[in-house]
Structure 1
Amino acid sequence: MDIWLHINWQEMFIPSISIAELIIRASIVYLALFSVLRLLPSRQLGTLGIADLLVVLLFAEAAQNAMASNYTSITEGAILVGTVIFWSYFLNWLGYKVPSFQRFLNPPPLLLVKNGRIIDRHMKRELITEQELMSQLRQQGVESLKDVKRAFMEADGSISVIRQESQTNSMPKQDEQKVSGNF
Structure 2
Amino acid sequence: MTLDLAALLRFDVSPLELVVRGSAMYWFLFLLLRFVLRRDTGSVGVADILLLVLIADASQNAMAGSYTTVAEGVVLVATLVGWNWAMDWAGYRYNWVRRFVEPPPVVLVRHGHLIGHNLRRQLVTIPELMAALRAHGIDKLADVKMARMEPDGGISVIRADKREDEGDDAHRKSVPLG
Report the Cα offset of residue 166 of structure 1: 3.6
| 1: CA distance, partners of 2:92 / 2:156 | 23
After TM superposition, which residue ranges in structure 1, 4 or more long, deviate above 3 angstroms?
none
Paired residue total? 163
Amino acid at match of 2:110: K
**Percent identical:** 41
Q: TM-score, normalised by structure 1?
A: 0.84
Deviation digits for residues 124-174 of structure 1 (CA, Å, limit 9, x no counterpart):
11011111101111122101000000001000000000001143xxxxxxx
Report what 1:115 is aligned to: 111
One of 51, 63, 76 as aligned partner of 1:80 = 76
Bigger Cα Rg? 2
1:134 aligns with 2:138: no
Which structure carries more helix by proportion? 2
Deviation digits for residues 18-41 of structure 1 (CA, Å, limit 9, x no counterpart):
111111110001110000000122
Let me know the Cα RMSD of the aligned residues.
1.6
Report what 1:68 is aligned to: 64
Report what 1:148 is aligned to: 144
State whether residues 149 and 156 of structure 2, in contact with CA within 8 Å, keep that contact through their aligned partners in structure 1: yes
1:22 aligns with 2:18: yes
| 1: CA distance, partners of 2:159 / 2:93 | 34
Deviation digits for residues 93-149 of structure 1 (CA, Å, limit 9, x no counterpart):
222333122111112211110000001111111011111101111122101000000
Q: TM-score, normalised by structure 2?
A: 0.86
| 1: CA distance, partners of 2:48 / 2:140 | 30
| 1: CA distance, partners of 2:148 / 2:72 | 43
Report what 2:38 is aligned to: 41
State whether residues 15 and 72 of structure 2, in contact with CA within 8 Å, keep that contact through their aligned partners in structure 1: yes
